[in-house]
Chain A
């Protein structure tokens, strides 16, 4: 608190001195006055925060500070009196993004400007005639560091201080920090390298030599020196990890040529690969490996034909790939497991459920991180200024790509301007009615096609009752993948017909329609499996329905991959040759990011659905993603051109991760939970045979273990108490809801502060 006080007092003293020097010009007022209301309103967040908790309405301050006709002396006095902000106030203000940057840079500009003023002999670059910044700019972002930066506050805005004194001040206040801290701050200042090296010389001069000498030779012999240097290099070299990342260089090349939209697709692919890798490692270590070491006694080798790779029958169905292979024994034979018996059904259950849980946490975490990046406290109407300031991609170096980028930016700006203009003009009733009709027709077509395709799959699944052989098994999977491939074409046609106003809406609508199609197909299939196959005794299923479901999912995954390959080949490669040679057009096809991402999500959903019945399915998905990366990359380079439409990468990444979590992962989790809880496992195969549900195996195991181990019995008693007593559900939920409410209020408070600040600045600038 005392820090805050001294910070405040310094400002107004220095401001007063600065005023007295008579160097105020018209251009300097914005800076000064901009900072000044900020100091006034700093009281308000404290009020808002306090209001929430103590219900004291301290309206006197807020009323008086909102009036802009406040006399300069009056506000100065009040700020002098207000010595202590609460920690909450400081936290709110320091967490506003625009406060974090701009402070050091202003410091840098002040130093450089004051350096530049006397002579040109210093190596500063440009003498800016910017208004001299008041020294409350030269504070650290975190208010906790105010005490060490107080000295910097004394770098008064007057140009009469000489160069050396300024540098000395900066050096002296840097000296208060530790060496690495000081270097970090110096590095982040926008000064020229020569200036920085000079400051560093002063900063380091008395201590540096000792430090350098001490650091250089901690031990006399050479290997020790190598090791210590290597250790230090490993610790302080964050670059090393980026070179270890998979596919980093190819992705940089792609983003340079095609932009960040395409890059987001490939980043998403890489994320999915790592998630699958995690899943695969867990299941492999805890499930596949123990079972592989102890194969069940009734397995016997069978003839192997290549068709079985596609259908999953025959040899594969009696391998580690599918559920039916796993036995319900407890391994006690090896030396380790005779002490700690390894129970396969329990391992199966726990591996799958705990992997799902871990992935849930990972997805929620990445979703929240990516949402936080794109969230704005106070969303303004348009983002034209963002587009103008931030949209130029400096990585693009080739002339045609630069031309393309200019075109893209120009199109985007023109579209946004026309959108703003059209928002203002009134459209006639006839035009609006016609638009409405077109929208209705398009939606009708899309929904009808989705409905009919779902109906087709439903009837197909019911009517295929005879036992199928070999490649006929693939028919169902081919039909589903065919629908997934062809219907998005119809959706694109509808979108072209509709002519949405903003490209964002178009992308969202097309994503929604695609998603609806895939969800409906998957739901029909799940209903068919769980509702019919698991319950009835179907002739084609023989004795093991889980194997059948696993095989179906495996076939779906494979057919999806085959159809993707076909589409890439036909849709992109052949189409390009066709359009160039025969149609004589120079337009290459455009890489449809939304559609490709949804295909990835669909494949991942199938993997998650199938992992309970085919534990090695993540391995198949990993192989598929690997091949897909190289195939898509090469197809992109050869056949496609960069899209002319703008693509807001961060927002879309958030949307994709949300889609991955919400319908895809949660749907799969619900499916698995329902299967585990309610469905009776088949009696002929698998680790859960002869039980009423898969969950029951855990209960039985718990009963068995309870007598042997104290901790486990305590754990299970706790678990039973947890699930029986509803209060353990209500308390955490209540806590989460309270937390969410608190965060909403904080955001609301920030919004109010921002509005008040803007109004202040507006009023003050008018005077």
Chain B
């Protein structure tokens, strides 16, 4: 089992911290772990804190066709050369910000940073133009003409630029967002919370070490969902021991 991002604490404590500091449930973190390890190359898996390059992240189905995929990677990346590569914790940050239960302030904050293409802290004419082009797609008949673009951006600035400096800053952006009840669409991944996935996880762990794994599982906060899988696994183990 690959351990990613293990610090001085044991993995359980780390996972617990992650669960408390993000908007994800433990199941979602484990599933994210699985998806993340799939993206790693073989030798990278032994690295203590591996970093996945942007091209690998962009192969995820949820991000593959999204017009904002590059910006998303760049915003959540903590690498020093700003190349869009993500560690596991960056990946968790991404999922947390895009999850159902994240607060509006988190979502609007990250939305602002994603839309800020030149990273200068405000949305100026160039940023808005790139944003509209991303939204309307690449085909010629859906793109806005330059005249329409000019008119659109001037209308946007009329509506949202409160201090009339020609740019939309974070507060103004959040003011616009707070007026719109439809902003809940800023949700990306739907990690299915099904018992079967967890059973799979239990099964893969239990092959190796039943007692400690069982105790560790019991001590986590999965008790309610776990009982059916526990029965299944104990039966399986019992059967195995019989041979």
Task: Give A238's nearest chain B residue, CB to CB.
Answer: B101
Contacting pair A105 B109 (CB below 8 A): yes
Is A170 engaged at the interface, CB distance under 8 Å to the other chain? Answer: no
Task: Give A34's nearest chain B residue, CB to CB.
Answer: B163
Contacting pair B136 A406 (CB below 8 A): yes
Is B80 engaged at the interface, CB distance under 8 Å to the other chain? Answer: yes
Contacting pair A30 B165 (CB below 8 A): yes
Q: How far is the CB of A654 from chain B (nearest CB, A)?
A: 10
Q: Which of B21, B22, B82 contacts A126 (CB 8 A)?
A: B82
Contacting pair A413 B174 (CB below 8 A): no
Q: How far is the CB of B109 from chain A (nearest CB, A)?
A: 4
Dominant SS among interface residues on chain A: helix
Contacting pair B176 A393 (CB below 8 A): no
Chain A residues numbered 374-423 whose CB sits less than 8 Å from any CB in chain B: 374, 376, 380-386, 388-395, 397-399, 402-403, 406-407, 409-411, 413-414, 417, 420-421
Per the bound structure, the CA–CA distance linking A232 and B75 in Å amounts to: 35
Contacting pair B113 A126 (CB below 8 A): yes
Is A765 engaged at the interface, CB distance under 8 Å to the other chain? Answer: yes
Contacting pair B193 A239 (CB below 8 A): yes
Q: How far is the CB of A138 from chain B (nearest CB, A)?
A: 13
Stretch among B181-189, B199-207, B232-240 lining the A interface? B181-189
Q: How far is the CB of A230 from chain B (nearest CB, A)?
A: 4
Is B39 engaged at the interface, CB distance under 8 Å to the other chain? Answer: no
Interface residues on A, range: 35 or more
Contacting pair B137 A406 (CB below 8 A): yes
Task: Give A126's nearest chain B residue, CB to CB.
Answer: B119
Contacting pair B170 A102 (CB below 8 A): yes
Is A456 engaged at the interface, CB distance under 8 Å to the other chain? Answer: no
Contacting pair B76 A383 (CB below 8 A): no
With an 8 Å Cβ cutoff, the count of chain B residues facing the other chain is 91
Is B212 engaged at the interface, CB distance under 8 Å to the other chain? Answer: no
Q: How far is the CB of B213 from chain A (nearest CB, A)?
A: 15
Query: Which B residues touch A230, using CB under 8 A?
Result: 223-224
Is A98 engaged at the interface, CB distance under 8 Å to the other chain? Answer: yes
Chain B residues numbered 70-92 whose CB sits less than 8 Å from any CB in chain A: 75-78, 80, 82, 89-90, 92
Query: Which A residues touch B223, using CB under 8 A?
Result: 226, 229-230, 233
Q: How far is the CB of B236 from chain A (nearest CB, A)?
A: 21
Q: When A200-B21, A399-B65 are in contact, do A386 and B178 touch as well, CB less than 8 Å?
A: no
Q: When A421-B151, A765-B165 are in contact, do A650 and B93 touch as well, CB less than 8 Å?
A: no
Q: Which of B144, B151, B181, B188 contacts A410 (CB 8 A)?
A: B144
Contacting pair A194 B89 (CB below 8 A): yes
Is A106 engaged at the interface, CB distance under 8 Å to the other chain? Answer: yes
Q: How far is the CB of B217 from chain A (nearest CB, A)?
A: 11
Task: Give B72's nearest chain A residue, CB to CB.
Answer: A394
Is A109 engaged at the interface, CB distance under 8 Å to the other chain? Answer: yes
Contacting pair A183 B78 (CB below 8 A): no
Contacting pair A385 B156 (CB below 8 A): yes
Task: Give A212's nearest chain B residue, CB to CB.
Answer: B13
Per the bound structure, the CA–CA distance linking A225 and B190 in Å amounts to: 32
Contacting pair B18 A193 (CB below 8 A): yes
Stretch among A184-192, A659-667, A745-753 lining the B interface? A184-192
Is A161 engaged at the interface, CB distance under 8 Å to the other chain? Answer: no
Q: Which of B62, B120, B136, B188 contacts A413 (CB 8 A)?
A: B136
Query: Which B residues touch A252, using CB under 8 A?
Result: 190
Query: Which A residues touch B218, using CB under 8 A?
Result: 222, 225-226, 229
Is A758 engaged at the interface, CB distance under 8 Å to the other chain? Answer: yes
What 0/1 pattern do residues 364 to 381 of A give for CB contact below 8 A with B?
000000000110100011
Contacting pair B136 A417 (CB below 8 A): no
Contacting pair A192 B93 (CB below 8 A): yes
Contacting pair A410 B21 (CB below 8 A): no
Is A197 engaged at the interface, CB distance under 8 Å to the other chain? Answer: yes
Task: Give A404's nearest chain B residue, CB to CB.
Answer: B137
Is B125 engaged at the interface, CB distance under 8 Å to the other chain? Answer: no
Per the bound structure, the CA–CA distance linking A532 and B106 in Å amounts to: 63
Per the bound structure, the CA–CA distance linking A758 and B172 in Å amounts to: 12
Q: When A129-B121, A233-B222, A397-B61 are in contact, do A106 and B106 touch as well, CB less than 8 Å?
A: no
What 0/1 pattern do residues 93 to 118 of A give for CB contact below 8 A with B?
00001101111111011000000000
Contacting pair B156 A384 (CB below 8 A): yes
Is B35 engaged at the interface, CB distance under 8 Å to the other chain? Answer: no
Contacting pair A390 B177 (CB below 8 A): yes
List, sorted by A's number, 7 A–B pairs whose CB atoms are closer than 8 Å: A187-B21, A237-B25, A260-B185, A389-B183, A411-B142, A761-B162, A761-B164
A positions within 8 Å CB-CB of B = 27, 30-31, 33-34, 97-98, 100-106, 108-109, 120, 123-126, 128-131, 183, 186-188, 190, 192-194, 196-197, 200, 222, 225-226, 229-230, 232-234, 237-240, 243, 249, 252, 260, 373-374, 376, 380-386, 388-395, 397-399, 402-403, 406-407, 409-411, 413-414, 417, 420-421, 648-650, 758, 761-762, 764-766
Top 8 closest A-B pairs, CB basis? Answer: A406-B137, A130-B121, A230-B223, A410-B142, A97-B178, A98-B175, A410-B136, A105-B109
Taking A233-B223, A409-B136 as known contacts, 6 extra A-B pairs with beta carbons closer than 8 A to each other, sorted by chain A number, are A102-B108, A105-B106, A239-B25, A390-B182, A394-B188, A407-B137
